[in-house]
């Protein structure tokens, strides 16, 4: 194996030696950082700042030299242009031949400049990968994202290479005019489809094409860093496959499925306690009724995630049928006077949860250029469904019978959702287009490797910052391994079970999953027991409970917009994370019934503080989670999305069980008893965040 540092020296142009990236120095610096952190003499934040500054200085040296060389090339072309004009007036074959050779020499020097960019970009990629490997998190994502989108970014100046394109154009045009055109007066602009037949220009064009293709990832990574989980970046073939697999109506059907499921989840919350009482059970059994759906979802998420490896259409059809049946049973439980039929209906609704399929469809079948919008639409559909569910329940305040079927505020949510899922099923069968699995095979084949060419003959050896050389060993014995190509198969294979997925979690990821569990637990306690609490303390009817929950749901989108557009630009994510946890804790403490009387103002204000801060916390937490999650958890059945979904679903199950068990102590003690576990878990999560604070960025 050839050390990259040694190969870097071999490929350097001697007179440009002082302008290359100092890979050896930076590699030693990374090792030095590791020793200092291990000794406790330096914290990670200082390392990030110092290493970022060093990279900025190295890139600035490269950029300024690149601009200087481009200026020299432009000056030479301008002087050759004066000679070209003189020859046009007095043509001389020997002078024309000499001038053409002079232009070719400029092209060869330009090719050297492109190789200069290649060597430096490869060194940059390798040192970033080495840094990530040494310290265990994705500094590369942070560095490229912050530098690629900044208007004064030196990194951006390198990879946009506008000046290089202008030089290539000038050389091509002049060589074209100096060729024997047999009396033709057409220029290269008139015959764009006819390439200039000159080997050196072909080499330069090949180099520029590869440079353009391979560095487009910067803008992609900067804009979609939180969406694309895998380390592999798209090739043009993959992007064409994405476009072929994309079908707008199918995406819309997935979003509608998301919306209807969230409506289905929350439409029963305002009336669950009354329904339980009408069937002879205690009001607090509403916790079991609401939580039954979450219990089933724990299992359905796994088989739907596995099923989506083979199909998207069949899982959605199955989901719709099961949800239609579940809601029908939920509605019929009233006339059958059976709490068990009610619970079975809710369990069936949970077994029909296809959110794993919805997420997977967006990840696999939506082109990268609109995947961010599709993901935002997914979040919006969920938030809208969460708000519309209770609001719809508040509108269904009627009571009548058709034959032996009762239609009232308890049963109408079931009947309405059953009809909605039946109509959705018909629409699904008519309009959904199953993506071709052949496209996936093409995409996998196209991503397995690129053809290697000699650097001096064909411009660049490999795409910059994406592919790598064969396994290389550095001078100190460390290996620079590109995970996408040279890592052992077992280190790239996706997790095959929950246990193997759990082993891939770092301490910081475990803390963030704990935070996710905590916020989902607190939110479920607030929402699920709201009808019982407000009826006991304030004598609210169903309409008032529905309005309260509807108002809470309406805060989701505005809060996320505020955080995403403003707050995240003013503070670090880890600062927002810790502050949000503290505010959630304050909201929980404010909710306790410590003084008489317990007022509406206290309940509503504390609930609003807790809910809004939990929404902020969820967005920031998932953002951080996506950055530090192992790349092996970005694909397969047991992926990072499934783990976070299971953590949230398990939290809802535990919260609903807590409400039911606390109900045996009496409704007067329900509020404080259910808030105690929320407070305990919240305090634990805050302590865990403080311990891992320096590992977050």
pLDDT beyond 90 at 166 = no
Residue 533 is predicted with a pLDDT of 93
Share of the chain above pLDDT 70, in %: 73
Domain 3-182+197-226: which CATH number of 2.60.120, 1.20.1050, 1.10.8, 2.60.40:
1.20.1050
Instruction: Output the CA torsion sign for 48, 49, 53, 56.
Output: positive
Please tell me the predicted confidence (pLDDT) of residue 209: 61
Q: Quick check: 287 pLDDT over 80?
A: yes
Nearest partner of 609 among 636, 579, 566, judged by Cα: 579
CATH superfamily of 497-696: MFS general substrate transporter like domains (1.20.1250.20)
Peptide bond into 597 cis (omega under 30): yes
Cβ neighbours of residue 506 under 8 Å, at least 6 residues apart? 136, 628, 630, 695
pLDDT in tens, 17-39: 788 888 888 888 888 887 877 77
Mean pLDDT of the region 618-640: 69
**What is the average per-residue pLDDT within 95-105?**
86
Q: Please indicate whether residue 310 or residue 243 has the higher confidence score (pLDDT).
A: 310
pLDDT at 351: 93
Q: What is the pLDDT of residues 501-552, one digit of tens each?
A: 778 787 888 888 899 899 999 999 998 899 899 999 999 988 899 899 889 8
Instruction: List Cα–Cα distances, 510 to 492, 503, 514, 640, 643, in angstroms.
Output: 21, 10, 6, 12, 11
pLDDT tens digits, residue range 63-76?
Answer: 888 888 888 888 88
Maximum C-alpha span of the chain: 108
The whole-number pLDDT of residue 171 equals 80
Please spell the DSSP secondary structure of 426-494, one letter per residue.
Answer: HHHHHH--PPPHHHHHHHHHHTS------HHHHS-SS-TTTS--S-EE-TTS-EE--TTTTS-HHHHSP
Distance CA 349, CA 292 (A): 9
Residue 256 pLDDT class (50, 70, 90 cuts): very high
Q: How far is CA 635 from the centre of its chain?
A: 13
Please say if the pLDDT value at position 181 is more than 50. Answer: no
Q: Which pLDDT does position 564 carry in this prediction?
A: 66
Domain 3-182+197-226 shares a fold with domain 497-696: no
Say if CB 372 and CB 227 are below 8 A apart.
yes
Nearest to 242 by CA among 430, 447, 428, 449: 447
What tens digit of pLDDT does each residue of 225-238 get? 333 344 333 444 44
Local confidence band at 136 (pLDDT 50, 70, 90 cut-offs): low
User: What pLDDT is recorded for position 444?
Assistant: 47
pLDDT of residue 95: 82
Per-residue pLDDT, 5: 60
Q: What is the pTM of this model?
A: 0.62
Q: What is the CATH code for 246-433?
A: 1.20.1250.20
* Residue range 135-139: mean pLDDT, rounded: 66
Report pLDDT for 452: 34
Bigger pLDDT: 579 or 619?
579
Computed over every residue of the chain, the mean pLDDT equals: 77
State residue 384 phi and psi, 5-degree precision.
-65, -40
Place of tokens 């009548």: 400
- Domain map (residue ranges) of the chain: 3-182+197-226, 246-433, 497-696
pLDDT at 450: 36
User: Among 160-169, 273-282, 394-403, 484-493, which is the least confidently predicted range?
Assistant: 484-493
pLDDT at 11: 60
In this prediction, residues 621-632 reach a mean pLDDT of: 68
Best-predicted range by mean pLDDT (252-266, 290-304, 607-621):
252-266
What per-residue confidence (pLDDT) applies to 472? Answer: 42
How large is the average pLDDT for residues 640-656?
84
- What does DSSP assign to residue 567? I
Q: What is the pLDDT of residue 453?
A: 34
Inter-axis angle of helices 248-266 and 368-395, to 10 degrees? 30
d(CA 645, CA 303): 13
The CA radius of gyration of the chain, in Å to the nearest whole number, is 31
Residue 186 pLDDT greater than 50, yes or no = no
Q: Which of 213-217, 237-241, 334-338 has the highest mean pLDDT?
A: 334-338
Q: Which of 1-10, 339-348, 447-456, 568-577 has the lowest mean pLDDT?
A: 447-456
Greater pLDDT, 458 or 197: 197
pLDDT band at 432 (very low <50, low <70, confident <90, very high): very high
Tell me which of 207 and 649 has the higher pLDDT: 649
Closest by CA to 432, choosing from 258, 250, 254, is: 250
Taken in order 365, 371, 375, 381, is the CA torsion positive or negative? negative
Predicted local distance difference test score (pLDDT) of residue 486: 41
């Amino acid at each position: 194996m050839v050390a990259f540092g040694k190969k870097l020296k071999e490929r350097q142009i001697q007179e440009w030696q002082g302008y290359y990236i100092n890979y050896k120095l930076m590699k030693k610096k990374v090792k030095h950082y590791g020793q200092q952190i291990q000794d406790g003499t330096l914290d990670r934040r200082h390392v990030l700042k110092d290493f970022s500054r060093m990279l900025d200085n190295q890139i600035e040296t490269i950029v300024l030299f690149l601009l200087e060389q481009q200026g020299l090339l432009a000056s030479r072309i301008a002087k050759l242009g004066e000679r070209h004009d003189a020859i046009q007036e007095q043509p001389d074959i020997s002078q024309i031949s000499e001038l053409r050779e002079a232009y070719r020499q400029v092209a060869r020097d330009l090719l050297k400049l492109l190789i200069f960019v290649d060597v430096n970009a490869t060194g940059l990629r390798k040192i970033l990968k080495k840094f990530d490997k040494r310290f265990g998190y994705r500094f590369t994502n942070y560095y490229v994202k912050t530098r690629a989108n900044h208007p004064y970014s030196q990194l951006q100046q390198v990879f946009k290479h506008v000046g290089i394109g202008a030089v290539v154009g000038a050389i091509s045009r002049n060589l074209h005019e100096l060729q024997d055109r047999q009396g033709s007066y057409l220029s290269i602009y008139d015959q764009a489809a006819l390439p200039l037949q000159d080997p050196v220009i072909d080499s330069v064009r090949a180099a520029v094409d590869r440079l353009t293709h391979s560095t487009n990832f910067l803008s992609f990574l900067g804009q979609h860093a939180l969406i694309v989980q895998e380390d592999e970046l798209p090739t043009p073939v993959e992007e064409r496959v994405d476009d072929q697999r994309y079908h707008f109506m199918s995406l819309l059907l997935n979003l509608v499925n998301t919306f209807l499921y969230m409506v289905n989840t929350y439409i029963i919350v305002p009336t669950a306690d009354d329904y339980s009482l009408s069937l002879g059970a205690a009001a607090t059994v509403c916790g079991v009724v609401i939580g039954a759906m979450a219990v089933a979802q724990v299992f359905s998420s796994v088989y739907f995630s596995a099923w989506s490896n083979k199909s998207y259409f069949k899982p959605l059809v199955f989901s719709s049928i099961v949800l239609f049946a579940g809601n029908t049973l939920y509605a019929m439980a009233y006339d059958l006077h059976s709490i068990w039929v009610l619970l079975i209906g809710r369990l069936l609704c949970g077994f029909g949860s296809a959110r794993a399929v919805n997420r997977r469809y967006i990840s696999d079948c939506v082109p990268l250029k609109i995947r961010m919008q599709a993901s935002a639409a997914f979040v919006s559909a969920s938030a809208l469904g969460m708000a519309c569910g209770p609001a719809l329940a508040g509108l269904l305040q009627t009571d009548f019978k058709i034959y032996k079927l009762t239609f009232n505020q308890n049963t109408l949510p079931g009947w309405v959702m059953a009809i909605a899922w039946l109509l959705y099923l018909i629409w699904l069968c008519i309009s959904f287009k199953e993506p071709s699995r052949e496209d996936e095979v093409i995409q996998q084949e196209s991503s397995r490797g690129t053809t290697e060419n000699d650097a001096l003959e064909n411009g660049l050896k490999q795409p910059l910052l994406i592919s790598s050389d064969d396994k290389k060993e550095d001078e100190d014995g460390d290996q620079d391994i590109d995970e996408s190509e040279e890592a052992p198969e077992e280190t790239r294979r996706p997790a095959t079970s929950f246990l193997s997925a759990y082993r891939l979690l770092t301490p910081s990821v475990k803390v963030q999953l704990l935070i996710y569990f905590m916020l989902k637990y607190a939110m479920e306690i607030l929402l699920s027991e709201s009808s019982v609490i407000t009826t006991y303390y304030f004598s609210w009817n169903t309409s008032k409970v529905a309005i309260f929950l509807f108002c809470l749901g309406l805060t989701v989108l505005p809060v996320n917009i505020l955080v995403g557009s403003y707050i995240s630009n003013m503070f670090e994510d880890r600062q927002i994370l810790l502050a949000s946890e503290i505010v959630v804790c304050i909201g929980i403490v404010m909710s306790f019934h410590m003084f008489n009387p317990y007022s509406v103002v206290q309940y509503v204000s504390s609930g609003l503080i807790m809910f809004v801060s939990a929404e902020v916390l969820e967005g920031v937490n998932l953002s951080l989670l996506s950055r530090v999650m192992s790349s092996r958890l970005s694909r397969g059945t047991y992926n990072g999305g499934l783990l976070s979904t299971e953590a949230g679903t398990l939290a809802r199950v535990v919260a609903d069980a807590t409400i039911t068990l606390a109900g045996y102590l009496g409704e007067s003690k329900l509020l404080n008893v259910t808030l105690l576990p929320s407070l305990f878990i919240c305090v634990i999560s805050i302590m865990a965040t403080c311990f891992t604070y320096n590992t977050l960025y």
